[in-house]
A and B are shown apart, each in its own frame.
Chain A
Amino acid sequence: MKTSAINRRNFLKTGGSASVLLALGFSVPAHSEEVLLHKIPQNTLGLEFSPYILIDDTGKITILNPRPDMGQGTYQSMPALVAEELEVSMDQIHISQTNGQGKYGSQLSGGSSSVRTRWMPMRKAGAAVKEMLIQAAANKWQVSSEECYAKEARVFHKPSGKSFTYAELVGDASKLDVPKNPKLKDPKDFKLLGKSMPKPDVPLKVTGTAEFGIDVDLPGMLYASIERCPAIHGKVVSFDGAAALKVPSVKNVLKAERAMPHKTVETVAVLATSYWAALQGRKKLKIKWAAVDNNTLSTEKFSAQMHELAKQEGHDFEGNQGDFAKAYGEAAKKIQATYETPFAAHAAMEPVNATVWVKDDSVEIWAPVQGPDGTIGELSQYLGLKPEQVKVNVTFLGGAFGRKAYLDFVKEAAYLSKQAKAPVKLIWTREDDMTQGPYRPAMLSVLEGGIDANGKVTALHHKIISESIQKQVFKANITGKADGWAEEGVGAKDSPMAIPNIRRSYLNASTDLPILWWRSVYASTNVFGHESFVDELAHAAGKDPLDLRLELFKDSPRFVKVLETVAEKSGYREKLPAGKARGLAIARSFSTICAHVFTVAKTADGIKIEKVVSVIDCGMTVNPDNIKAQTESNLVYGLTAALKSPIVFADGAVQQSNFHNYPVLRINEIPQMEVHIIENQEAPGGVGEPGLPPVAPALANALFNLTGKRQRKFPLELV
């Protein structure tokens, strides 16, 4: 659990009647997980203290949400953590987004980290302000603060029943010292946390009034659409924009660039006073491309490269135990299997877009970005500005799934604004989104398992082969070693299996195809092979897959509890009629354990996925209904990846371009979903991603149980 020290307060003087403002924040450890994940200059790290709670003397209470909301629910969860301790209800507060400044600490929505890293700091901030308001009231009444309590944005004097509103106390409270260790509420007294609460953004989103990045308008702005090389890595040999310039409303055609972390490539942009005109102009461009690396980008060749690498000895991850080679050599029964997952697109509903205004000595950005702090860091570097010259306004994100932490699109818009000397709104088309990446990296899982004469699994080796996000995006040197990020979901930390000889190893398969984290990152691919193979081991050992897992996780009570619960809720032990089967998988990722039991059935139209029962243990909860929603979301997102088209790069371009040839799950294709949450007092885990990794293997295991055919490659076939 991360903690914070509250040791500074800020006074802000504003004009008018609201002249007194209490503002308080907290420090965030500089080395929190997500800061390490997101490379930003040192001076924007969270080393300062900052205002998260603003109360003015009109009674307006503003809580700042430090994590952009992309659908995962931080617009409710972050303010709720503060409101709980501050003793205000959710309808008494205004919610605002932080702007990326270093003083707010890490503001990256990613790694399912928001609640688990902000659980204590946000509550402490609320508790500290509450104590100050209570002390201010006690001083006014000249009574002991022990006799006072806070409720619904008022402080009450218990014996007399007198009360003050927070607005009446804020001036006095702001003169008090900030308590260093405010008393936090006992979880049994929680009024908001752990209760299913309506999310305050829902009314905005059902009435079309929530502002997404694509909805931002600035006076005098130009709309941009950019033609990029089909081969992704292109050089513009020559271009002719004359026809484009003849399209009414088109103002400018210019050579531009796309700065990706691993490569900056040339592009051609059309600027117009309407987006439609920019698109029309773009169609009329004549560009001669020189594709860079044309011959090397091929997903088929990349797959072959991974299979070739599979023959080599892998580099060990940390946490291996026993002697795999010896135990495997001595095993009575040996099995091997290779699993493969393809490249996948994020395909968030809101295509990436950014509105940027580069002025003489500053830049302002309005965009659906996952991290405004990273945006300041990267854009200041890109434009040669100081971080304080970059202002970021975060909107709601129309989905992201990792994609909107990759800031190529913001830089593209900045480049154009600088050239055009005007505010520019860049919108990628769906085709741009699907054909240009970045993508979830394809990967190979090579598994070997040994079983002794008594049916005990004595040896397991999972060799992971993939391109490295850490290497391509963050320039890490992983030569000759395992990429420490790449074992998510199956490494020693996430998968505490009681197998005496267990090895996890890694080989890097190199490609320039742009890659990035994608919902649940490596766990989304690793767990498919791992958990499918556990079923293969169970069948080889003559055991039920649930029984084998109960045996393998016997030393991990939370895994056992999740397994037993999912078995009970799904009726796992009950016999199914002929033509139906179940399949199970479990995984821990982002500090949360999730298991699914799929029920599949043979029908006249092929196999139908009838039902999924899910159990999730994410420790203490903020909003159980949202945890259920996120798990449903992971099921649908994970099923799309498992069942639908892969991203294929062939003949010099990505072959998928829009939802007709990169289909996603639709309402008529979803199974009935039922989610159960384990209640406990464990530290909060992640919620936005951990439901995803066990989806594909649970389905694959169910399909095997139904058909007898083991599927080891996406897309899984429902036949």
Chain B
Amino acid sequence: MAQTKLTVNGKAYTVDVDPEMPLLWAIRDFVGLKGTKFGCGMAQCGACTVHLNGTPIRSCSTPVSVVKGQKITTIEGIGTPDHLHAVQQAWIDEQVTQCGYCQSGQIMSAVALLKEKPKPTDEDIDLYMQGNICRCGTYQRVRKAIHRAAESVQNTSAPTGKKTASLER
């Protein structure tokens, strides 16, 4: 056990854990943020995706000792129901989620993709997002939502705040 300093969504936390503990469990069970999910424990499914200094990592396979002091962002740091990120808004507009369990990870990957490629093609999306499994099979809507978010970011360059969805398509 060791005192480890974590910076999650801009807030500092000190957790007393096994240095080998994956960041996932430190975030969920010690920091207390539950939006990051456990799916496979071996970086196969992407449900646990968070950002480390803005880059997506699989928190289930990253020991806390590796990330201490660095900038970690979870789904809770991306946006809230009242202040949605453009990607989250696009997810609502396209009604992407079904069970929703993998979607924190999907959104974390999508946010990072759009930072790298503000106007991704389908191929870019497929390449970047294939580490995120969705058993409900929401992939087609994930693609559409990423395109929609790309457009809205280009049009407004600011996160939207509206809560309702239009289903015109």
Contact = CB atoms under 8 A, between A and B. Distances in A.
Contacts of B125: 667
A277 interface: yes
A248 interface: yes
Contacts of B133: 349, 659, 664, 666
A626 B39 CA distance: 25
Nearest to A399: B99
B138 to A, nearest CB: 7
Contacts of A201: 97, 100
A397 B98 CA distance: 10
A214 B37 contact: yes
Interface string A33-72: 0000000000000000000000000000000000001111
A401 B134 CA distance: 13
B153 interface: no
A666 B99 contact: no
B81 to A, nearest CB: 5
Interface in A343-382: 347-351
Contact of A71 (B35, B42, B98, B107): B98
B141 interface: yes
Among B30, B44, B107, B137, max chain A CB count under 10 A is at B137
Given A207-B35, A660-B42, A632 B101 contact: no
Contact of A202 (B33, B76, B80, B95): B95
A398 B29 contact: no
A670 B97 contact: no
B143 interface: yes
Contact of A274 (B21, B38, B75, B138): B21
Contact of A659 (B45, B104, B136, B163): B45
Contacts of A350: 37, 39, 99, 101
Contacts of B100: 71, 201-202, 204-206, 210, 396, 398
A479 interface: no
Contacts of B21: 274, 276
A673 interface: yes
A277 B129 contact: no
A209 B141 contact: no
Interface string B45-70: 10100000000000000000000000
Contacts of A209: 35, 76, 80-81
A393 to B, nearest CB: 16
Nearest to B76: A208
Grouping DSSP codes into helix (H, G, I), strand (E, B) and loop, the B interface class, with mixed when no group exceeds half, is loop
Contacts of A626: 95
B3 interface: no
Contact of B95 (A211, A217, A625): A625
A208 B137 CA distance: 19
Contact of A276 (B22, B81, B137): B22
Nearest to A76: B95
Interface in B1-59: 1, 17-18, 21-22, 25, 28-30, 32-42, 44-45, 47
B140 A349 contact: no
A276 B139 contact: no
B143 to A, nearest CB: 7
Interface stretch (A295-303, A525-533, A583-591, A633-641): A633-641
Given A398-B37, A664-B133, A670-B139, A204 B81 contact: yes
Interface in A303-321: none
B137 A668 contact: no
Interface of A is mostly: loop
Contacts of A349: 37, 39, 45, 47, 99, 101-102, 133-136
A670 B76 CA distance: 29
Interface in B61-105: 74-76, 78-81, 84, 88, 91-92, 95-104
Contacts of B28: 215
A248 B18 contact: yes
A32 to B, nearest CB: 25
Interface residues on B, range: 35 or more
A625 B140 CA distance: 14
A629 interface: yes
A632 B92 contact: no
B40 A206 contact: no
A397 B101 CA distance: 8
A73 interface: yes
B91 A70 contact: no
A93 B129 CA distance: 36
Nearest to B26: A276
A658 interface: yes
A211 B35 CA distance: 9
B101 A212 contact: yes
Given A207-B75, A658-B40, A276 B45 contact: no
A80 to B, nearest CB: 14
Contacts of A212: 34, 37, 101
B136 A202 contact: no
B143 A667 contact: yes
A668 B127 contact: yes
Contact of A670 (B44, B80, B81, B137): B137
A396 B81 contact: no
A276 B25 contact: yes
Interface string A318-355: 00000000000000000000000000000111110000
B158 interface: no
Interface stretch (A192-200, A468-476, A550-558): A192-200
B47 A198 contact: no
B92 A206 contact: yes
Given A274-B17, A276-B25, A207 B80 contact: yes
A518 interface: no
A214 B81 contact: no
A632 B34 contact: no
Contacts of A658: 40-42, 44
Given A202-B165, A274-B29, A275-B25, A347 B44 contact: no
B150 interface: no
Nearest to B127: A668
A427 interface: yes
B14 to A, nearest CB: 16
A665 interface: yes
B147 to A, nearest CB: 13
Nearest to B89: A206
Contact of B40 (A249, A659, A673): A659
A217 B32 CA distance: 9
Contacts of B104: 208
A430 B41 contact: yes
A203 interface: yes
Interface string A85-100: 0000000000000000
A399 B39 contact: no
B7 to A, nearest CB: 18
A634 B165 CA distance: 24
Interface of A: 69-73, 196-199, 201-212, 214-215, 217, 223, 248-249, 274-277, 280, 347-351, 396-401, 427, 429-431, 625-626, 629-630, 632-637, 658-660, 664-668, 670, 672-673
Nearest first, the 4 A-B pairs at minimum CB distance are A208-B35, A636-B137, A398-B101, A205-B100
16 contacts: A71-B100, A198-B167, A199-B95, A205-B97, A208-B36, A215-B28, A217-B32, A274-B30, A275-B25, A348-B99, A350-B37, A351-B39, A431-B41, A629-B98, A637-B137, A668-B130
Given A660-B44, A673-B140, 20 more contacts: A70-B99, A198-B164, A203-B92, A205-B100, A206-B88, A206-B96, A206-B97, A207-B75, A249-B1, A276-B17, A350-B39, A397-B99, A398-B37, A398-B100, A398-B102, A430-B42, A625-B95, A629-B95, A636-B139, A665-B139
Interface of B: 1, 17-18, 21-22, 25, 28-30, 32-42, 44-45, 47, 74-76, 78-81, 84, 88, 91-92, 95-104, 107, 125-127, 129-130, 132-143, 163-165, 167
